[in-house]
Structure 1
Amino acid sequence: MTAAAGNGAPPSTSPDTPASSASVFATGGTVPRSRVFAWALWDWATQPFNTVINTFVFTALYLLTEAFTSPGVTEDDLSAQLGLAVGLAGVVVALLAPVLGRRTDAFGNRKRWLFIWTMLLAAAMAAMFFVEASPSFFLLGAILVAVAGVFSELAAVNYNAMIVQVSTPKTLGKVSGLGWGFGYIGGIVTLVIVIVAQLSGWFGIPDENGLPLRIVAVMCAVWTVVFSIPLFLSIPEIPPVPGAMRSSFLGSYVDLARDVVRIFRHDRPLFWFLLASAIYRDGLAAVFAFGGAIASVTFGFGFLEVVLFGVAGNLVAGFSTILAGRLDDRFGPRLVIIGSIIGLVAAGLGVFLLRDLGTLPFWIGGLLLCLFVGPAQAASRSYLARSTPPGHEGELFGLYATTGRAASFISPLAFAGFIALFGAQAFGILGIVLVLAIGGGLMFLIKPERGTADLR
């Protein structure tokens, strides 16, 4: 692999360094707005898995409830078992993502595999309809949630790599922000639909055996299929790379190891970015993962308040991400990342220090946290896309997924460790803030090479 584009040397076109002719990012062409919209709509299409299935509804309000407990098995035990399933799924993603991404680069089948993973994700969500409210069905539910997570992550590798097909160096930040923003807003729209349905008595659907929430899973599957169609109709497939080395599946791991060594030797800023982003992205994930629990336990929010905060937080994150994309294109993704992390650290400390003043500090500080989360995520994708040599997008975004998975234990351990050390959940906020600060501090140390002004 060559060093990142823009370091003064043109990308190599040797057999192990392909250059995709489908990348308007590399050629400086123009992209129809309809194609950009179609690409961003995929985020809207698949976000219900994270928002409705994974976070607020199917797992929290159904799979981890007393309907699935049995003598000797508590709800805490169910959480641990689901965590194990999801953790094993993360290992699968970490092992497969970079190699599969590398192979789609060489074989020219990025869109095909994005279609396959997306449809498998929809199929896994639809299959959740068969998870009846009985302890004997818990294992099926846990497996489906974990497997759907694998499909979602592998699809995201190809989707993220596709960003260079729908953007130019001048629009990359805006396009990345648009995708993340659409995702947040799409997830909230589906969540609002669920809330309205619940308040309406599920429109007469019997609530025995968890039927309404099982139908919600099917709704998410249909939503994913319908709204992902524009991407597959609008964006062309990348061509196979002439002369590219097509190793066996196992041989791809050897090639991958060689490329990682090349990155370390020849593009040290990219190597350290993968490390730094893995740390602070885990902190970003923790903001949403533990936000509801902090609101409930530390600040005394009831169920409706937690859900309303979730809606408000995601809306704030969605719109701020879309707007911050313009700052990315103007000032570069590195400065957006650093500025966002500074804002996150300040807001997190504010929530902790003002925790005794009631719920208002959490509403203000929590929404400020959401304000900065989306821009940091979108700018991270932009940074990597700008740093990646043409034809290596799938491989690098696969590594991006792998490093993120490898660091996914840091924030949960920091959160739990600070609680254990100080004896109160509020101190877990400091654990999350510490992880963000460490990742952000590493970003301060990364200096783009001469000629990479678009990273700044």
Structure 2
Amino acid sequence: MTNPSDPGRAPAAPAPDLPESPAPRRVVAAWSLWDFGSNAFNTVILSFVFSVYVTGTVAADPEQGQQVYANSQTIAGILVALLAPLMGAWADRVRNRRLLLTVSTLLVVLTMAAMWFVRPEHGYLLLGVTLIALASVIAEIATVFYNGMLHVIATPSTVGRISGTAWALGYVGGVVALVIALFGMILDGGMLGLPTQEAQNARAVALLCAGWFAVFSVPLMIWGPADVPERELDREPFGVVRTYREIVRRVVRMWHEERRILHFLVASAVYRDGLGAIFSFAGVIAASSYGMDTVQVAIFGIAANVVAAAGTWVFGRVDDRIGPRPIIIGTLVAMIVFGLVIIAFDATAVFWVCGLAIASLVGAVQSASRTLLTRIVPPKDVNETFGLYATAGRAVSFLSPFLIGVFTAMGGARLGMLGIVVTLALGLAAFLPLKTPRL
């Protein structure tokens, strides 16, 4: 790989090489299956089913539920921003990556299983939102450990394919778990015939997701990479205050010596906020602007996840041929264009076609962003840097919702889509000057 430097700046440190020898196939498969299992939490618990149950059924009224839930997620976001780089730095000091991921995964599983005890009574609202927030924090930290493993299992010629395949499997896993939850447990009493007294069918969704994540994470617990090479362990013992000081020094060092990493963390944080808003607000826009009911929104959500999986899988292979930078630029430009078309034409068919086209590109950008950071980060700092990656994302997570609210107030829910488009455009503009290594 080459190492172009930014014009007018001191050359950046050479891009670290990934391993030349591929990891065993069972290790790569186990790593990918973890993504397949973990997305049950994101899709079913956080987005479509259990959070809706807590805010709409457990709460005394939906407005109270939404407010308390939003507050709990805000606190969760702050905790992730504070803890992610700290836990990443810790992971860079210990010898067993697999153990860290195993412990954090099991904690997420146990937290989801505990959601069974959230009964449909408003006195359980605080328990419900607290468990979801706690699982969100632990899942984000687990993802830091998980992303750090990519630097160990992928080679320069396979990093895009491995990352893209895993991300695509995540979408598939989320869709399958969502279909089972919706049609097997929730809609019309559920085909599984679970009792509806005290919302046992809705509460059982939490047990489904806990079991789902547990089963598909077992292979990585057994075969995942465990040891950090000795040359990466030349650090002082871990201490919270000392480590935060080191993290601050690392950011300062990035500004002087690794500016392209810092540049990427900032730019990607902006456009990733727009990517997150696409799935967060798509259902709201579909219902409010095009009159879709709950089932239609669910069908659109399933279709969006299916095409997202397909697009991510394809672009993961393209990543290994042309590198992640062209993929990030090209897909962001395409999403901006499709978003503007949705705004310009008030037609349900246009929303379906362009909405699914956008969905097919979201995972491609996210996976390519992960591979780009994997290619440019020093091996000894990989987990800490992915922790900063999570923190940077949380730091600007207000941007897209704020812009959506502004444009919605100006011209209604469909114009709110412009908030997403503007966020993606800002992220693209920030990303374009970045120089990255070529394959």
In structure 2, the partner of 1:354 is: 345
> What amino acid is the match of 1:442?
A
TM alignment of 1:334-345, pairs within 5 A: 334-345=325-336
TM alignment of 1:221-260, pairs within 5 A: 221-239=210-228, 241-260=232-251
> C-alpha separation between the residues in 1 aligned to 2:100 and 2:188?
39
How far apart are residue 295 of structure 1 and its match? 0.3
In structure 1, the partner of 2:323 is: 332
Which of residues 16, 21, 36 is equivalent to 1:29? 21
> What amino acid is the match of 1:307?
A
In structure 2, the partner of 1:51 is: 43
Q: Are 2:266 and 2:392, in contact at CA under 8 Å, matched by a contact in 1?
A: yes
> C-alpha separation between the residues in 1 aligned to 2:204 and 2:211?
11
How far apart are residue 143 of structure 1 and its match? 0.2
Is 1:390 equivalent to 2:388 in the alignment? no
TM alignment of 1:431-442, pairs within 5 A: 431-442=419-430
Three-state SS of the structure 1 residue aligned to 2:380 is coil
Is 1:114 equivalent to 2:101 in the alignment? yes
> What amino acid is the match of 2:32?
A
In structure 1, the partner of 2:260 is: 269
How far apart are residue 64 of structure 1 and its match? 1.4
What do residues 7-59 of structure 1 show as CA deviations (whole Å, max 9, x unaligned)? 78668xxxxxxx9xxxxx63411222221111010001110101000111111
TM-score by length of 2: 0.94
Is 1:85 equivalent to 2:72 in the alignment? yes
> What amino acid is the match of 2:320?
D
What do residues 66-103 of structure 1 show as CA deviations (whole Å, max 9, x unaligned)? 4421xxxx312211110110110111110011111011
Which of residues 306, 316, 319 is equivalent to 1:315? 306
In structure 2, the partner of 1:446 is: 434
Query: Number of residues paired by the alignment?
Result: 428
What do residues 151-205 of structure 1 show as CA deviations (whole Å, max 9, x unaligned)? 1100000000000121101111111101110100000001111233145733332
Which of residues 270, 273, 294 is equivalent to 1:279? 270
How far apart are residue 112 of structure 1 and its match? 1.3
> C-alpha separation between the residues in 2 aligned to 1:184 and 1:411?
22
In structure 2, the partner of 1:181 is: 168
How far apart are residue 234 of structure 1 and its match? 1.2
Q: Are 2:19 and 2:154, in contact at CA under 8 Å, matched by a contact in 1?
A: no
> What amino acid is the match of 2:260?
P
In structure 1, the partner of 2:8 is: none
Change (3 A) 1:436 1:150: same
In structure 2, the partner of 1:101 is: 88
TM alignment of 1:285-296, pairs within 5 A: 285-296=276-287
How far apart are residue 247 of structure 1 and its match? 3.8
Gaps of 5+ in 2: 6-10
What do residues 181-232 of structure 1 show as CA deviations (whole Å, max 9, x unaligned)? 0100000001111233145733332202111011110110011111101011
> C-alpha separation between the residues in 2 aligned to 1:256 and 1:67?
41
In structure 2, the partner of 1:130 is: 117
Change (3 A) 1:55 1:352: same
Change (3 A) 1:9 1:402: closer
Q: Are 2:84 and 2:388, in contact at CA under 8 Å, matched by a contact in 1?
A: yes
> What amino acid is the match of 1:80?
Q
Q: Are 1:103 and 1:246, in contact at CA under 8 Å, matched by a contact in 2?
A: no
> C-alpha separation between the residues in 2 aligned to 1:236 and 1:216?
31
Is 1:304 equivalent to 2:291 in the alignment? no
Which of residues 173, 198, 201 is equivalent to 1:209? 198
Q: CA RMSD in A?
A: 1.8
How far apart are residue 108 of structure 1 and its match? 2.0
> What amino acid is the match of 2:355?
G
> C-alpha separation between the residues in 1 aligned to 2:78 and 2:197?
36
Q: Are 2:32 and 2:166, in contact at CA under 8 Å, matched by a contact in 1?
A: yes
Change (3 A) 1:429 1:37: same
Change (3 A) 1:8 1:424: closer
How far apart are residue 109 of structure 1 and its match? 2.8
How far apart are residue 245 of structure 1 and its match? 2.0
Q: Give the fraction of aligned pairs with identical amino acids, expressed as a percent.
A: 39
Which of residues 153, 157, 164 is equivalent to 2:144? 157
Q: Are 2:27 and 2:225, in contact at CA under 8 Å, matched by a contact in 1?
A: no
Change (3 A) 1:331 1:79: same
Is 1:146 equivalent to 2:137 in the alignment? no
Gaps of 5+ in 1: 12-18, 20-24
Which of residues 16, 20, 34 is equivalent to 1:42? 34
In structure 1, the partner of 2:416 is: 428
Change (3 A) 1:4 1:152: farther
> What amino acid is the match of 2:369?
S
> C-alpha separation between the residues in 2 aligned to 1:175 and 1:164?
11
